[in-house]
Structure formats: C-alpha cells, structure tokens
Amino acid sequence: MGLATREAYGKALLELGATNQDVVVLDADLSKSTKTGDFAAQYSERFINVGIAEQNLMGIAAGLASYGKVPFASTFAVFATGRAFEIIRNSVCYPNLNVKIAATHAGISVGEDGGSHQSVEDIALMNALPNMSVIVPADARETEEVIKYAAAHDGPVYIRLGRLAAEDLFDESYTYEFGKGVQLTDGDDVTLIATGLMTAEAKKAAELLKADGISARVIHIPTIKPIDRDIIEKAAKETKFIVTCEEHSVIGGLGSVVSDVVTETHPTKVVKIGLNDVFGESGTPAELLERYGMTAANVVKVVKEHY
Amino acid sequence: MNMTQTATEIRKSIVDMIYHSKSGHPGGSLSSVDLLNYLYFKEMNVDPSDAKHPQRDRFVLSKGHAAPVLYATLAERGFFDKALLPTLRKMDSILQGHPDSKKVPGVDVSTGSLGQGISNAVGLALGAKLDDSAARIYTILGDGELQEGLVWEAVMAAAHYELDNLVVIIDNNGLQIDGKNEDVINLGSIADKFRSFDFNVIEINGHDYEQIAKAFADARETKGMPTAIVAKTVKGSGVSFMENEAGWHGVAPNKEQLDLALTELAEVAK
C-alpha cells in the first residue's frame, strides 16, 4: 500500500508553500485529518483555521482569491460540498474565482464514522456547477501532480481525496494531464472506466478477466470535468460495452458522465458500479468496500453478467 | 457637487433605473444611499480610471439586492457611463439583477445570496493583512441579513483575526420582505451582538453625514479589532411614499410614481 491521497496532499502543500508565496491554506478544524497540519506548522502565517464553519471556509477562500491569493480550502468532502454548496456556487463558481477545494474523507472508505460522514454525492454536486473543474486522483503520485496542477490552474477546482491508504499505480515518471483519461491496459471485449481507489480494483479485475479469456481495456479518469470525450468515444467504438467503477453514487458521478458521452457519440451499453442510491454505514473500510461492491471480484462478476 | 447633491442624483438614478427595469429593490437601495455616497466620494481609496488597482480599498455589497444603489453610485463616481443605468436587469446589460464582478467596472465582489458578502469581505481583509497592504475593506449588510448564520461565522473570524482593516456597516432600516424585523425574527440589540463578538461598535444615523464621517474616522483609528457601524436608516429614504414601507422592498414604481418621486427629489436639490 502507498500513501492515502490525503497524505500526499499534505506533502504536496508543503512543496507548494515553498515555491508559491500566494498559496494560502484554509481548514475548518480538521487539519490533522485533512493533512493540512504540516503546512500550518511550516507556514503558520499563510494558514487560516476558520473553526467549525464550512460556509465561512468557502466564503473566506473566495475573498482571498478575489484579493489575488491562491487559497486551498480543506475539510471532509461531505461538509465541503454539502454544507457549503451554495457558498461554492455563488461566492466561488459564479464569479469564477481561483479557489481550490481539496476535500478529504470522500466515499465509504471513510469507514467507522459511518454514513453521515461518507460523501457519496460530492462529484454530482460539484460537476453540476459551471466553471468548476473536478479531479479525483487515484494514488499518491497522481495526487501530488494534481495539486501542483491545481495551483497553476486559473479557476475553481474540486479535488476529491480519500482517507484510506491507496495502492501505488503511478511512478515518478507519471505526469498528470488536465482533462485527459489514462489508458492503463488495452483490450477489446470490455472497457473498465474507473476513478479514485476503484482504478486499482479495475486494474486487478482486468488481470482476473484475462485468465477467463476476456480482454478488458482499463481507463483511469482523474479529471471528471472536463471529461475526456475522445478516450470514451474510442472505447465505445472499439469494445463491446463499458463498465464504470467509482466510490460514489451511480447518480451523477463518473458513470453518469460516461453515459452522457456515449449516448451523444456512440451509443453503447454502460453498466455502472457505485453506490446504488444508498448511504453508507459504519464498518471497516475493507468490509464496506466489500459490501458495496467496490472490489475487483465484483467488477469481474458484473462484467461476466453482461458479457 | 456637494454630498447632498450627489445623494440626490443617486436617489434619482435609483428610482429611474428601477422604473425602467420594471423590477428591483428600491427600499433597501434608498436606505443605503448616504452610506455609499460617503464611501465612494470621501472615504475609500478608489480610482475609476484604474478600477482594479491592487492597493485599492474594496467594497462588498453584502445586501446584493440593493444593486441599484451600487450601480448608481459607481456611475456617479465615474466608473461607467450613467447612460447604462436604464439597462438594469435587461438582457445583455452589465447591470445584472445582483452585482456581477465579472461584468461591472468597480464591483469587487459578486453578491446577491445574503450572508456571503461579509464572509468574502473577511477573506479580502485577510488577504490585505497577508500582504501588509493598507487597503481597507468595507461591507454593507441589511439588518434582515443578520438572520443568516454565515454572518456570525464571518463575524467570529473577523474578531479572531483582529481585522482592523474591516468595516462592517449594518443598514438598519428595520424592515425586510415579510415585514418588520421584530415580527419576522427579532434581532434584539444589533449593537450588543457585535460588541459581544469583540467588535468596535459605533451607532449612527445613517443619513447624517457628520455622524457617518466620524464613524469611519473612528474605525480607522481603531487597532486590533474590526469595526461595526450600526446605521439607523429609513427604508425608501428620500421618496416620501416609499419611506418605512416594507411593501417597497422589491417593487418597481409606475410612471406616475416615478414622476412623483423625481419631483420630490428635485425639490430637495433646490
């Protein structure tokens, strides 16, 4: 196992602090969990704790961006996008301000805290906002790249990060390209399109499917918005069907975005693996991922059901 | 022009532009006229020919529905042509129903959703502090707006970070859409609330230029804490039939009412 994406975020912020004097980091009393704490210790004058006040977190971030700073605002995904949604809409996205929202503890892999703290709708919420870009890195290396990119990007960016240790998928040679999908393996029977921690599962599933004589193409989608239409259209044309894999509701997430692209370009069957319009619950991350089908074994099962 | 004359011009522009748009918020625009007039003509370091100067003072109309008073004041101050005012709320106009920072020269922050402007102003004040800039940040809130929880999150942060470069002005006209504040949700003592949050609090008549001037001077001299100016105002101020009437919160005058208002305002100008 590699680092959790939230840990990679904390490391990336430290580097940014040294290279970009305009970067200001904000948190809402969760700096130990979101890993903004290291930045806070090193660059205390550029760290703003707003207390337990997520609306104000986004409102202040907007003000700082309006002044010319590059604010990174962090809290848990459920509060960042849910509690503060309308502040993000009107104070950040409507005026197209340069605010970076790096939300951690997304998805059911939060674990024991339970359904109240497991965001399964944040991608849907952020995707719906004009001017917003939405990025879900899969591992530590990609997270570092994404944070570096986000700081240089002009405009609002939502970055979805996880609590759980993530498998390393990419090495030092990997560079993140905004708006581009990443084909991990080639195949011509089925395409697995995945994001976040499900990319590692999709990759494992492709290996298992190979043993059964099914050739699976695996595409990792770090940028949900703007979506890489070309890589999806190509997959729709070249493979028999598509299975999307995400640690998010099947409503409004990656699966919906892929379905939109496919219906507009090359209508193909799209099967969505994700939370089926339900909330999560308490349990260990492993137990929850198993129960809600976020495993390579379940991806294999779903592919075979539709093959 | 003296302050009374510019105030009258701004009031005339407000009723005229809302008459043309056939919708908008005259009551709360008219109650803020004297405060914005003083801010833009006496208090703030702003330059219409260099509206984006990084060292400028910033203004946030947290009560964004009072956009007409902001547009009329900015136009009067020379940020854009007064001829644009009658395009308020019309298709392709820069003068959107609520202020849009992307479109209007001199509008620092887009507002309209209540409670957010003061939070944005706290961010601006923190930004200025980080840069050791002398820029000062001003924001005006409606009294009804104080019912938004976000206001108090922002107020707490402003005091915690000792933002003495921030001035929060409450346009205390006592009325909101559904009636009197005290009948909708009672605000109690606004001044006491801000005092208990460790603000420097000044209570004034928001239509008295001497008191307005003194309050802003006091705010400048206050170090280590933000200032709240609780300005007692009259909703619809300057147009007799609109004064103290909640019904004029969000209704446009017809031609007859416009003429009556303009005649009254012309009398004041004499």
pLDDT computed for residue B99 by the predictor: 98
Give the gap in angstroms from C-alpha B54 to the nearest C-alpha of chain A.
8
Specify the pLDDT at position B270: 75
Q: How far is B38 from chain A (nearest CA, A)?
A: 23
Tell me the shortest Cα–Cα distance from B143 to chain A, in angstroms: 19
**For the residues A226-235, what does the mean pLDDT come to?**
98
What number is the average pLDDT over the span A191-220? 98
Say yes or no: A52 contacts chain B, CB-CB below 8 A.
no
Over residues A223-242, the mean pLDDT reads: 98
Helix (H, G, I), strand (E, B) or coil at B230: strand
User: For residue A19, what are the CA distances in angstroms to A46, A156, A244, A257, B140?
Assistant: 13, 20, 37, 35, 37
The reply to whether residue A64 touches residue B123, judged by beta carbons under 8 angstroms, is yes
Helix (H/G/I), strand (E/B), else coil: B164: coil
pLDDT given at position B146: 98
Prediction pTM value: 0.97
A251 interfaces chain B, CB cutoff of 8 Å: no
The reply to whether B109 touches chain A by the CB within 8 Å rule is: yes
What are the pLDDT digits (tens) for A79-125? 999 999 999 999 999 999 999 999 999 999 999 999 999 999 999 99
Does B150 contact A at CB distance below 8 Å?
Answer: yes
Query: Please, are residues A115 and A279 in contact by the beta-carbon 8 Å criterion?
Result: yes
Question: Which residue of chain B has the CA closest to A88?
Answer: B116
Q: Give the per-residue pLDDT at A262.
A: 98
Q: What is the mean pLDDT of residues A144-166?
A: 98
Here the ipTM equals 0.96
Please give the CATH number for the structural domain made up of A5-160: 3.40.50.970
pLDDT at A1: 85
Catalytic residues of A: 54
Dist. CA B18–CA B32, nearest whole Å? 15
Question: Quick one: what percent of chain A has pLDDT higher than 90?
Answer: 100
Residue A290's identity, in one-letter code, is: E
Size of interface A-B (CB pairs under 8 A): 107
Whether B132 has its CB under 8 Å from any CB of chain A: the answer is: no
For chain A, where do the domains classified as CATH 3.40.50.920 start and end?
Answer: 182-306
The answer to whether B150 touches B116, Cβ cutoff 8 Å, is yes
Q: Is some CB atom of chain B closer than 8 A to the CB atom of A61?
A: yes
What phi and psi values does residue A198 have, to the nearest 5 degrees? Answer: -75, -15
Structurally, chain B folds into a number of domains equal to: 1
User: What is the reported pLDDT for B246?
Assistant: 87
Q: On the CB side of A174, how many CA atoms lie within 13 Å of its CA? A: 22
Domain with CATH 3.40.50.970 in chain A: 5-160
Residue B268 pLDDT > 90: no
pLDDT tens digits, residue range A2-46?
999 999 999 999 999 999 999 999 999 999 999 999 999 999 999
From the CA of A16, how many Å to the nearest CA of chain B?
17
Q: Which fold has domain A182-306?
A: Rossmann fold (3.40.50)
For residue B170, the model assigns a pLDDT of 98
Q: What is the pLDDT of residue B244?
A: 92
Question: Is B54 in contact with A65 (Cβ distance < 8 A)?
Answer: no
In the prediction, which pLDDT does B62 show? Answer: 98
Nearest to A85 by CA among A58, A51, A48, A117: A58
Structure tokens at A95: 């005026």
Task: Check B110 against A48: CB less than 8 A apart.
Answer: no
* Residue in A closest to B104 by C-alpha: A95
Q: Encode pLDDT of B202-252 as tens digits.
A: 999 999 999 999 999 999 999 999 999 999 999 999 999 999 998 998 999
Contact B157 A60 (CB under 8 A): yes
Q: What is the CATH number of the domain that holds B191?
A: 3.40.50.970
The residues facing A71 across adjacent strands are A24
Range of the domain at B190: 3-269
Angle between helices B3-21 and B255-269 (to 10 degrees): 170
Average pLDDT over residues B68-95: 98
Residue pLDDT, tens place only, A244-297? 999 999 999 999 999 999 999 999 999 999 999 999 999 999 999 999 999 999
Q: What angle do CA B130, B136, B142 make, to 5 degrees?
A: 120
B residues 183..242 contacting A (CB < 8 A)? none
CB B45 within 8 A of CB B250: no
For chain A, the residue count is 307
Which residue's structure tokens are 């290396």? A141
Cross-chain Cβ contact B154/A59 below 8 Å: yes
Q: What gap in Å lies between CA B87 and CA B94, rounded to an integer?
A: 8
pLDDT (0 to 100) of residue B226 = 98
Mean residue pLDDT of chain A comes to 98
Q: How confident is the model at residue B223, as a pLDDT?
A: 98
- Is B126 within 8 Å of A66 when comparing Cβ atoms? no
Which residues are registered as beta bridge partners of A10?
none
- Residue B1 is predicted with a pLDDT of 85
Window A:95-134, CB contacts with B under 8 Å? 95-96
Contacts of A83 in chain B (CB under 8 A): none
- Rounded Cα distance between B3 and B6, Å, is 5
Instruction: Enter the tokens of residue A106.
Output: 């997304």
Kindly give, in sequence order, each residue whose CB lies less than 8 Å from that of residue B87, ignoring residues fewer than 6 positions away.
B20, B93, B94, B95
